[in-house]
Amino acid sequence: MTQRVRVELGERSYDVVVGSGATSALGSLIPRGVRRVAVVTQASVPVDVAAHLPASVVATRHLIGAGEAHKSFATIERLCDEFAESGLTRNDLVIGVGGGMVTDVAGFAAASWHRGLPVVHVSTTLVGMVDAAIGGKTGVNIAAGKNLVGAFWQPSGVICDTDHLRTLPQREVRCGHGEMAKYHFLTGDNLLALDLDARIARCVAIKAEIVGDDERESGRRVVLNYGHTLGHALEAATDFALAHGESVAVGMMFAAQLAAVLGRIDAARVAEHRQVIVGEYGLSVEIPRTVSRHRLIELMHHDKKAVDGLTFVLDGANGIAPVRGVSEQAIHRAFDALSVP
C-alpha cells in the first residue's frame, strides 16, 4: 500500500510516493518524451530500477564512490563526461538511486548538464526519505565546508520505497532518526506513535509544506536546518566519523542549550530535547572528546547562514527561528553545558 504526498510548487509540483512497493510507481514519474535515462548510484546500493522503466527507454548506469570525499566537483565532472558519452540530451532524465549523498550529487549533475534536465530520486535510506531527497537542494562539498556549492533543482518525483529499509544498517537507521527528531521539534508531532510508512509520509508532508511556502530558503525554510549548524561542523571536525543524522542529533541538543543561555527557552524545554533525542530516538548527544570547541566555532563561521556573524536556528517561545549575531560567549556557555573541551 502506497500513498502520494504532493510538493506544491506551481508548474514544478511533484509527487513523493511512499510505502512498500513504491518503486513500481517509477514509470509514472518519468516525464514524457524521455528516451535515455542515466541512473546515478553506488556499487553498494542493492536496488535495480531497470525493471520499472518503460521498455522504450535506454538506461545507462553511472557509479559514484562511497564517502563524503566523493561528494565533489570531480565527481560532477566525471558524471557529465559520462552523460556526454551516453548521448544524454536536455529531454532525457537522470535517476538518483541511493541515500542523501547520491541524490545530492545526482541532482546537482542534472541541474548542471545542458543547464538542467529532469531528475527523479529513488531514496534507499531513512534520512534520504524523510529529508535529503525532497525539496530540491543539491550540492557538493568543498574544503571550506559541506554543501557550499550547489543548486535548487526540484525533482520530477521521488520514490520512498520502505522495502529498501529492511536491510538498512543500524547506523543508517540512527541517521534517519536524527532527522525525524527534528520534525518533532518543528511540529510537536509524536511521530513514534505512527507505523514506519505513516511516519515517513508525515515527515515528507511537513517538509513539503515548508518547501512549498519557501522553496529557496529565503525565509521559513531555514527552520529545516535545526541542529545543522553544529551538526555540519561536527561532521567536518570528525572527518565524517560522525554521520549526518548523528551529528544533527548532537546539534539539536547544543541548540537547546544555546537557546536556554539566550533566555529563549527554559530548563524544562531543554530536558524535553534530551528526552526526545536520547530517550525516545535512542541517539547520543555527546561531542567526541577529540574535538575542541575552538575548531567547531571556526567551522561554524563557514556555515551558509553565517552572513551576519554566527547564526543559529533556535527554539523559542514562538517556535523555531533563525537567530543572528550570536556571541561566542553564549556559545562557550552552551559548550560548557555539554562538557566540550
Question: Which is the catalytic residue, given 225, 246, 273, 305?
Answer: 225
Question: Which is the catalytic residue, given 179, 215, 235, 246?
Answer: 179
* C-alpha span between 254 and 179 (Å, rounded): 15
Distance, CA of 331 to chain centre: 25
Cell of 333: 556557555
Q: Is 235 a catalytic residue?
A: no
Question: Which is the catalytic residue, given 217, 235, 246, 305?
Answer: 217
Q: Is 274 a catalytic residue?
A: no
Question: Which is the catalytic residue, given 177, 184, 232, 304?
Answer: 232
Q: Is 71 a catalytic residue?
A: no
Q: Is 295 a catalytic residue?
A: no
Q: Do the bridges between strand 14-19 and strand 2-7 make them parallel or antiparallel, or are there none, so unpaired?
A: antiparallel
Question: Which is the catalytic residue, given 137, 146, 182, 304?
Answer: 137
Cell of 169: 544498517
For 6, residues 6+ apart whose C-beta sits below 8 A from its C-beta are 13, 14, 15, 16, 208
Question: Which is the catalytic residue, given 62, 70, 71, 244?
Answer: 244
Q: Is 246 a catalytic residue?
A: no
Q: Is 179 a catalytic residue?
A: yes
Question: Which is the catalytic residue, given 70, 164, 228, 304?
Answer: 228
29: exposed, middle or buried (Cβ count in 10 Å: 0-12, 13-18, 19+)? buried
Question: Which is the catalytic residue, given 70, 207, 273, 304?
Answer: 207
Q: Is 304 a catalytic residue?
A: no
Q: Is 244 a catalytic residue?
A: yes
Compute φ and ψ for 167, nearest 5 degrees.
-110, 15
Question: Which is the catalytic residue, given 11, 32, 115, 166?
Answer: 115
302-323: burial string, b at 16+ Cβ within 10 Å, e else: bbbbbeeebbbbbbeeeebebb
Residues with active-site annotation: 115, 137, 179, 207, 217, 221, 225, 228, 232, 244
